[in-house]
Amino acid sequence: MNFSQLRDQRANGFRQLRFEPGLEAHYRRVRDEGIRSRARPVSASALALFLVYTLLDSLMLPPAIARDTIAVRLMVTCPLIIGVWWLSYRDIRDDHFVKIYALAYLIGGLSVVGIIGLARLENHPLPYEGILLMLMFGYFVMGIPFRTVSGASLMVIVAYLWVESATGLGTHQLMVNGFFIGTANIIGMVGSWLSEHRQRAHFLDRQMLNASKQQAEQENQRKTRLITVASHDLRQPLNVISLILENLTADGLPGEQQSLVSRLKSSVSHFNGLLASVLDISRIQEGMISPEPTRLCAWQVIRQVSETFSEQAQNPGAQVIIHKPTPGSGVLADPQLLHRVLQNLVTNALEHSDATRVDLRAHQEDGKLCFEVQDDGRGIDDGALEQIFTPFFRSNLRQRSCPGLGLGLAIVRELTGMMAGHCSVSSLPGQGACFRVFLPATPAPQTTDSVSGAVVPPSAHSPSLMVVEDHDEARHWTCETLSSWGYSVRGVASAEQAITRWGTSSNAILVSDVHLPEMSGDALYDRLFARKSVRGGILMTADTAIPQGYDSERRLWVLHKPLIPMRLRAAITQLDRLAD
């Protein structure tokens, strides 16, 4: 049943101890399973009790009577209890076991009636406390369903009154005994009804909680799918726009049109940043990001961030200065998340502080590796410092000077926390700001492949590039961009065409979309790499669930769309330097 049906069931109530048919069947399955588990300790305690009564019979009753009562206890009641305990571990249906359990209660009660009758026949009356004890067990200890235990108890009481009457108990005493036993039975019925009603209420609460949890999980899945689809469907056209702009030059245009081209590039770059921020914060809130920490060289991390900004001009005249850390300095972090953190900090300094210089450095401090991004901008006032990492917070000055959503620094804090680190900021108005990111320090890896150093123009010995992209416009502009950089490029629309047109031995690099119609880009690369048709590869994807990064063993890059031309070019340069 769904949550609304369960809510209707609660509103309608269940005074008759019945749910709607579908829920009732589920409740009985759960209840019967619980009764089977409960029967084991109950059987053990009942067996111990009857053995104690057997001992008391031998000590307190005349031998002639004790012989008969002990025989009933040892040959009927105790084997019955042992049988119930044994059956609780057997492979029988729970509902069948509950019926046997209730029948055992009835037979046990009748055996007590029989013992009282045997004593009465020998003119040695026994009190009816044994019947009261059986009622207590049935209603409060055994946990038998209300209707079943009520019917069985009534049969035991009727049998007892009949035996007392048949063996000559006086009418007055019979009425007194009947009154007390009947009263005990009513009390037991009320207690049993309340107990089952409470159990049903708890069961209904659990079902509503589970339904609510399942509903929330389904809603999260829908949000996750929406974020994934939105990310893919927005990144794909933006990738085409970015590649077109990479090929768009303002040379030879009138001054006004040159300004329009520059503004267009700046606007698209800004929109890419906004989209990335919105999607990042959404993925963080939905728990879609799972860090994969690895040992990284601090110097190479800094150089990669520097290269991302080397061809950008967010603020004319601004420059990013990197400082080489102590040799061997390393950090334990997710490479893509750390890159995003430092990229956001540098972008914040360039776009929102009017800085002309941004210094990026790393050093060890108290067992942590501290990355510092320091600028010479206008600084941050005390009021803003307290809220600077809050989502959607933007100071009045920042709102006037530069549009944005106020998510960049919130993403920095969230991603840093995911990597077992923390961040801080210090600033004085008019004297710039210094952001610090502290992450676990570790020795730098011995060898680390990365995109580092200046981008080297293609030479006559540079490899050719094969672009595999089923999106026609994206394939065209990817080829145009690579050709404008001086590479020899061929473009095909499918993996099958790439396999057919590629030779058995080629000094080439594969540039492929991940999601292709008949074969994934990853599988295509593995096939070509195995037959030595490629020396390396770059997989492009708009699916941000696939992590970016470089696999040195496979010589394979994964880059997210929209492609940052600088990163694409640097990745190709690195693969170009690899030996055959």
Provide the pairing of β-strand 508-513 with 464-468: parallel
What's the mean pLDDT in 384-394?
77
Are the CB atoms for 444 and 328 separated by under 8 Å?
yes
CATH homologous superfamily of 464-577 equals Response regulator (3.40.50.2300)
pLDDT in tens, 462-511: 778 999 998 888 889 899 989 988 888 999 999 888 888 776 556 789 99
pLDDT in tens, 133-163: 888 889 999 999 999 999 999 999 999 999 9
* Averaged pLDDT score across all residues of the chain: 83
pLDDT of 364 over the 80 cut? yes
What's the mean pLDDT in 259-282?
67
pLDDT of 387 over the 50 cut? yes
Q: Provide the pLDDT for residue 112.
A: 92
Half-sphere exposure of 349 (CA within 13 A, CB side): 30
pLDDT in tens, 497-515: 888 877 655 678 999 999 8
Tell me which of 3-12, 295-304, 315-324 is least confident: 315-324
Given the structure tokens 């490899």, which residue do they identify?
Answer: 463
Q: Which CATH number fits domain 294-443: 3.20.20.100, 3.40.640.10, 1.10.3720.10, 3.30.565.10?
A: 3.30.565.10
Question: Tokens at residue 198, please?
Answer: 């409470």
Q: How far apart are CA 48 and CA 54, in angstroms?
A: 10
What string of DSSP letters covers 290-307?
----EEEEHHHHHHHHHH
pLDDT in tens, 173-226: 899 999 999 999 999 999 999 999 999 999 999 999 988 888 887 777 776 666
pLDDT of 579 over the 50 cut? no
Are the CB atoms for 468 and 498 separated by under 8 Å?
yes
Q: How far apart are CA 6 and CA 525, in angstroms?
A: 52
- Give the three-class secondary structure for 145: coil
Q: Provide the pLDDT for residue 399.
A: 45
pLDDT of 74 over the 90 cut? yes
pTM: 0.52
Across the strands, what pairs with 491? 467
The size of the chain, in residues, is 580
pLDDT of 132 over the 60 cut? yes
Q: Which residues, other chains included, contact 120 with Cβ-Cβ below 8 Å and sequence gap of 6+?
A: 126, 163, 164, 167, 168, 169
The residues spanned by each domain of the chain are 3-215, 294-443, 464-577
